């Protein structure tokens, strides 16, 4: 990386090309989030956050090799969304929503409790339910704190 920076010649258009690539990447992430977020938000079951424990996955009855392939693809796509969401915190795009949807896709210990904490963040909860309402899908429901 250091060698690349030392040999990078901005006077030959290198830095300008880099800025154009970053701008293009920013636009692609923004457009991708406009498509991916509604697509994924409508697939969250409305009662997903009501139970204290996570329900069994629908794909758990598939053959083991398909389960593994599905989990790997789902986690890779979720990681891409999380990284894109982090970039969108400073670039144009829906950063927090993209991070949230990426986390929903990934598998890791403590994921369900993290999801429940994030969905309680009012702007995220309202936005996801707004997206669901526009697609005539019932809103997500949360248990009320006692």
Helices 95-105, 122-134: inter-axial angle, 10-degree rounding: 80
Residue 100 domain boundaries: 14-134
Is 73 in contact with 107 (CB distance < 8 Å)? Answer: no
Domain-located, residue 145: no
Number of domains in the chain: 1
In a domain, 66, yes or no: yes
pTM for the full predicted model: 0.60
Structure tokens given for 81: 């969304």
**pLDDT band at residue 134 using 50, 70 and 90 as cut-offs:** very high
Q: Give pLDDT tens digits for 92-133.
A: 667 777 887 888 888 888 888 888 888 888 888 998 999 999
- Express each pLDDT in 30-88 by its tens digit: 787 788 788 878 888 888 888 777 666 777 788 888 889 988 999 998 898 888 888 87
Residue 18: inside a domain: yes
Has residue 6 been placed in a domain? no
Residue 19 belongs to some domain of the structure = yes
């Amino acid at each position: 990386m250091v060698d690349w920076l030392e040999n990078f010649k901005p006077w030959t258009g290198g830095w300008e090309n880099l800025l154009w690539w970053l701008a293009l990447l920013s636009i692609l992430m923004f457009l991708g989030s406009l498509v991916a977020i509604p697509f994924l938000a409508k697939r969250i079951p409305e009662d997903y956050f009501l139970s204290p424990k996570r329900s069994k996955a629908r794909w758990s009855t598939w053959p083991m090799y398909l389960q593994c392939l599905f989990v790997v693809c789902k986690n890779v796509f979720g990681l891409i969304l999380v990284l894109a969401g982090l970039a969108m915190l400073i670039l144009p795009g829906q950063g927090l929503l993209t991070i949230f949807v990426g986390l929903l896709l990934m598998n890791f210990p403590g994921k369900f409790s993290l999801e429940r904490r994030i969905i309680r963040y009012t702007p995220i909860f309202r936005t996801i339910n707004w997206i669901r309402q526009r697609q005539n899908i019932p809103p997500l429901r949360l248990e009320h704190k006692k």
